[in-house]
Amino acid sequence: MDIIVRATAADAQIRVFTAYTKDMVEEARKRHNTSPVCTAALGRLMTAASMMGSMLKSDKDILTLKIESDGPIEGITVTADSKGFVKGYVGNPNVILPANKVGKLDVAGAVGVGFLDVIKDLGLKEPYAGQTELQTGEIAEDLTFYFASSEQIPSSVGLGVLMNRDNTVKQAGGFILQLMPGVSEETIEKVEKNLSNISSVTTLLDEGKGPKEILEILCEGLEPKIIDIIPVGFKCNCSKDRVSKALISVGKEELSKIVEEEDSINLHCDFCNTDYKFTKDELVELLKYAK
């Protein structure tokens, strides 16, 4: 089961999120039939979004992470709710690239050069939006840079997705560690030392270490305190009912035109790759409600 562990350490001078997200990444892979490098890229961004979603304060808040870049993956979009449930997709799920210099899936090569958009819909008139330039395209470093430059929160982000030989997801997870205002030099030194002991998230996960163990490694000597452990996962909130409402909202004039010209229409949800078919009879029925 996918979970996020939320914790503080060093008398709340640090806050830490660690995540196990294998099921949500595998679910995304199955829904979108993503190639291994696309699964890794999407999985890393979904893992980060899940943790960042759980940072949102209000139940209805929504977080969107969007990578707009020039690589063959043609962008990645992920949305998370405040409970850490996520949905997402890539522009082109079929990218195949040779392994990178260290023999890993070449996420940076698939992503290319571009920007990371962080959009938080906090129920206000205008959503909060921050845009930063991608630093490496490996996603974790790009988020670290976003936190430092856009939110002024020194952070360390680790994300990893490991594939099985049959291209299903073997392991996925990550962490976000953030230094709170007033953090002492001594604490920073300990954090840096702990971080230097971590080779990669996938290595830890593959050694059988879960979010709690990763938390302990990150916070060695810093007395971590777990706040809560929450279940997370892949979740799309689309439904035929919601799509119907969207159709009604295009208005009487527009909808009559569709009824006249089409025998049936297909509406597609990008996030979960589901098609919703409407027959002429159904469209005629919806037209009654349109204004």
For residue 184, what are its two tokens?
């002492």
Listing from the earlier edge strand, what are the strands of the sheet with 85-90?
A: 128-133, 114-121, 62-69, 76-81, 85-90, 233-234
Residue 215 touches Zn ion, criterion: CB under 5 A: no
Of 191 and 269, which has the nearer Cβ to Zn ion? 269
- Name 225's Cβ contacts closer than 8 Å, sequence gap at least 6: 7, 8, 9
Binding track, positions 180-199, relative to Zn ion; x by CB under 5 A: --------------------
**Residue 28 binds to Zn ion (criterion: CB under 5 A):** no
Closest CA to 258 of 213, 214, 290: 290
Please work out the total of residues on this chain that contact Zn ion, with binding judged by CB under 5 A. Answer: 5
Q: Which listed residue (24, 42, 45, 236) binds Zn ion by CB under 5 A?
A: 236
The helix/strand/coil state of 266 is strand
- Return the number of the residue (146 or 234) whose C-beta is nearest Zn ion: 234
Amino acid, res. 122: L
What character string, x for contact with Zn ion (CB under 5 A) and - otherwise, covers 253-282?
Answer: ----------------x-xx----------
Copy the structure tokens of residue 111.
Answer: 């992503």
Pick from 188, 195, 226, 238 the residue near Zn ion by CB under 5 A: 238
Least distance to Zn ion from the beta carbon of 235, Å? 9
Which range in 46-54, 95-103, 233-241, 251-259 contacts Zn ion by CB under 5 A?
233-241
C-beta of residue 61 within 8 angstroms of C-beta of residue 121: yes
Q: Which residues bind Zn ion (CB under 5 A)?
A: 236, 238, 269, 271-272
